[in-house]
Chain A
């Protein structure tokens, strides 16, 4: 599984990431529905997982030995779909059906419909628990795969997240990694204070997340979620603990909502949105979309 793309250079990875960001904004504009900010902030990590770190088999999406990935912040579905398409789970052209009737690409990830989606999500706060179940199942069955769960910082407001944060270390789930995409904004949130990075207050700006996860018994690492080397090091770190540390790992991935395009970056106003023709031209230009496909 997954030997073809392990040798991608950072330049090649960056190219895929740029294309993926472009396809997110383009697809959402064409479908006239969908989220922008969250998929854009998470994209560097998503591509790093699917093109470099995860043990996967796009030709056999249900391979029992595969790594699992759960997009707990399910409203960012178009980001996941874009990466799955570019990775070969289904044709890139199918992205055009996103949010249309009879599509395999629903507004939120549906494991019964979309190849490569390991768990249904959409109602926030549930993905980490689903991942803990998968990781516990792997332990019980003696399977050596890794379960990755991506959460949003706004999503940390859901109480169920903390039920799992509390219990996962008890089960010794060192095969489970939570990646919190701390993009600093949620849909609307609170007015920005003097210490906030963006145009609204950070959902967990007042919280030392690293200390919190460490306090609950997790391995914890904070990174710049737009720096490919830091991402790669963190994902490698998490993988190296599997079967060794006895603790789950939390990666606090500090990012910018809407990253990659000037007008979507760092503003709550692009939590979701439909780009105009002019904005699409700007985005295409800023994301360097002559689009040299790396395959």
Chain B
């Protein structure tokens, strides 16, 4: 298990970058101790702006600040930006191409038992539909750190997921973040699995166990859902006997939707099954319970893959 959660990495990396980057500001919606924006509030108080419990105002003020050369990062639970402040993100960030960074803390399903009001299982679908938006979901602490550093120098709107809890490492310290590119994590012949975000870590564990049983899969991680090098992903998906997408997100409009959109338009349509939240809300429960119930734990992912392969034969 990695020692650090992505939210911790976010606070630390921004704090580190703030030493040299005068453009960085963090606007908080009074969740700093959860999102770990408190790290930068302590280390660089002049960079930290407590806006208060007012997410729409956070987006508006961040836009205004961005017109003066700042590149503000927004600190709250992702769900409040993608939903409550969506109209503000749409008009003031996406439509103006403002370099505002939406740091979506407590992303996906696992948010400390807060339940469906706080679980952001539709953010990919919403943010993918926003022209000009860059959408990133890092797999682990290492990729989160690398992505944050890339974003710091990117002049445009960004939505980036940060998971609340640590996951098993996917990448080592030599990993280089390549924007727009799918990342092939392993090769195999029985099927191709595509995943994003910290779900990639759980998929890697599932594929480890399947290998023990003689099932080999190609594993593609998509850290940047948009803009994405579509041709490269299609190339990697070519000749796949079966494609399984896995995401800590609704099966509607996220990574699974993306892969289906791509393959449906290709010369080689493939069979795709999508793992994620079916079209329903979730609930309050410990992480392991949720992952198990909603089919996202390593064991459940492996089970699904085996069942799908069997049904094809």
Contact = CB atoms under 8 A, between A and B. Distances in A.
Q: Do A and B come from one complex?
A: yes
Interface of A: 64, 110-112, 118-123, 125-126, 128-138, 140-141, 143, 159-160, 163-164, 166-167, 170
Contact of B52 (A137, A143, A166): A166
B60 A126 contact: yes
A119 B88 contact: no
A130 B60 contact: yes
Contact of B54 (A64, A130, A163): A163
B70 A167 contact: no
Contacts of B70: 137
B68 A163 contact: no
Contact of A136 (B65, B88, B97): B65
Given A120-B91, A126-B88, A134-B67, A167 B52 contact: yes
A141 B62 CA distance: 15
B64 A130 contact: yes
Given A118-B67, A119-B67, A137-B67, A132 B95 contact: no
A112 B60 contact: no
B87 interface: yes
A167 B91 contact: no
B61 A133 contact: yes
B159 interface: no
Contact of B56 (A112, A129, A131): A129
A141 B68 CA distance: 9
A122 B97 contact: no
Nearest to B88: A126
A159 B66 CA distance: 23
Q: Enumerate the 9 nearest inter-chain pairs by beta-carbon distance, A residue then B residue, closest first.
A: A133-B64, A129-B60, A133-B61, A137-B68, A163-B54, A163-B57, A134-B64, A160-B56, A130-B64
29 contacts: A112-B96, A119-B63, A119-B67, A120-B91, A120-B92, A120-B95, A123-B90, A123-B91, A126-B56, A126-B88, A128-B60, A129-B59, A129-B61, A129-B64, A130-B60, A130-B61, A132-B61, A133-B61, A133-B65, A136-B61, A137-B67, A137-B68, A140-B46, A143-B68, A160-B60, A163-B52, A163-B56, A164-B57, A167-B52
Nearest to B68: A137
B93 to A, nearest CB: 10
A167 B52 CA distance: 8
B51 interface: yes
Interface string B32-70: 000000000000001001011010110111111111111
Contacts of B64: 119, 129-137
A130 B92 contact: yes
A123 B87 contact: yes
Nearest to B47: A140
B114 to A, nearest CB: 23
Nearest to A108: B91
B91 A122 contact: yes
B91 to A, nearest CB: 5
Contacts of B67: 118-119, 133-134, 137
Interface in B63-79: 63-70
A160 B63 contact: no
Contacts of A110: 95
A111 B91 contact: no
Interface of B: 46, 49, 51-52, 54, 56-57, 59-70, 87-88, 90-92, 95-97
| Majority-rule SS of A interface residues | helix
Contacts of A137: 64-65, 67-70
Contacts of B60: 126, 128-130, 132-133, 160, 164
Which of A120, A133, A138, A140 is the most central at the interface, judged by chain B CB atoms within 10 Å of its CB? A133
A110 B94 CA distance: 12
Contacts of B87: 123, 126
A141 B46 CA distance: 12
Given A130-B61, A132-B60, 19 more contacts: A112-B96, A119-B64, A120-B91, A120-B96, A121-B91, A130-B92, A133-B65, A133-B66, A134-B64, A135-B64, A136-B49, A136-B64, A137-B64, A137-B69, A160-B54, A160-B56, A164-B54, A167-B52, A170-B52
Contacts of A120: 91-92, 95-96
Contacts of B90: 123
Contacts of A140: 46
Contact of A160 (B57, B65, B95, B97): B57
A97 to B, nearest CB: 20
Which of A128, A138, A140 is the most central at the interface, judged by chain B CB atoms within 10 Å of its CB? A140
A141 B52 CA distance: 22
A178 to B, nearest CB: 13
A121 B68 CA distance: 18
Contacts of B91: 120-123, 126
Contacts of B97: 112
Contacts of B88: 126, 129, 160
A160 B88 CA distance: 10
Contacts of A159: 56
A19 to B, nearest CB: 31
Nearest to B56: A160
A10 B233 CA distance: 66
A140 B91 CA distance: 25
A159 B48 CA distance: 25
Contacts of A132: 57, 60-61, 64
Contacts of A133: 60-67
Which of B57, B62, B69, B95 is the most central at the interface, judged by chain A CB atoms within 10 Å of its CB? B57
A166 B54 CA distance: 10
